[in-house]
Structure 1
Amino acid sequence: MCLLVMSSSFSGIPLTHTSLGFTSPLQAFEFRSKAEYSMIWYFMENQWRWKIGCLCLLAGLIFCIIIMVVIIKFLNCRHRNQVLILESGHRRRIASETDRVDRLERIVRRLQEEKKEWEDKKKKEEKEKEEVDKRKKEENLISL
């Protein structure tokens, strides 16, 4: 006859299947394995929930930090590029625009100078014409 002896965790007294109320040793073994399985499953499930929760929180934190670093680097890069454009005129487009502005300013100055010269020349011609008219009038008066 086969006797299944289970040890109790509360006391060191060995227990038999009959003292626990089971009719056969197999029934006691199945109960024990199911009970242990369910307790182990509960503990493992609880443990895995904690582990997965902590891992998700950690992954979310790392993701947020990476996103913040990328955004900060992008903003710094944009700011640095704008400073470079403004200070050194490093970009061709900006440099060409400043060259165009300088060229237009020079053209405007040259046109203003030419206009002034033309006005001065016109005034001189008018003065000469007036002098010639004045002389002609004097000559006409003298000849009369």
Structure 2
Amino acid sequence: MTTTLTLAELEGAADRDLGTSEWHAITQEQIDLFAKATGDHQWIHVDPEAAANGPFGTTVAHGYLTLAMLPMLLSEVVSVSDAVMGVNYGTEKIRFTSPVPSGSRVRLHAKLVRAERRGPSVVWTVGVQVEIEGKEKPALVGEVVYMAAGAPHA
């Protein structure tokens, strides 16, 4: 379920649990497309035969593919109703703590760490943990920073 907040509510909602996204499958096709887009064709990602004999027993998603999914996953958890747009602002303390095997399902658990008004906008930091279904250790942990842009005052 998506939580909807206004910019004013977001600003006052530090240390708030935002919830958990739906599960999403990570397919080999997604991994291959990400490799093509980024030029990272390392065999652990794109060569199922070689990867079957490698350290993970199968291909694994790029860590940055998992990171790149955060805006989509977060949109399932929270929305800012009066923002005219949202933009990625930065990352803090991102760690790739466990590989994501092809065919796995992942989901996001998010917590609002802090939010600060900047003119008509709010810069908000979200604690993130990307979980892998059936695994104890998450794939990714850290903080991401977004800007929810309000309408400029005339």
Same fold flag (TM > 0.5): no
Per the normalisation by structure 1, the TM-score is: 0.16
More helix by share: 1
Per the normalisation by structure 2, the TM-score is: 0.15
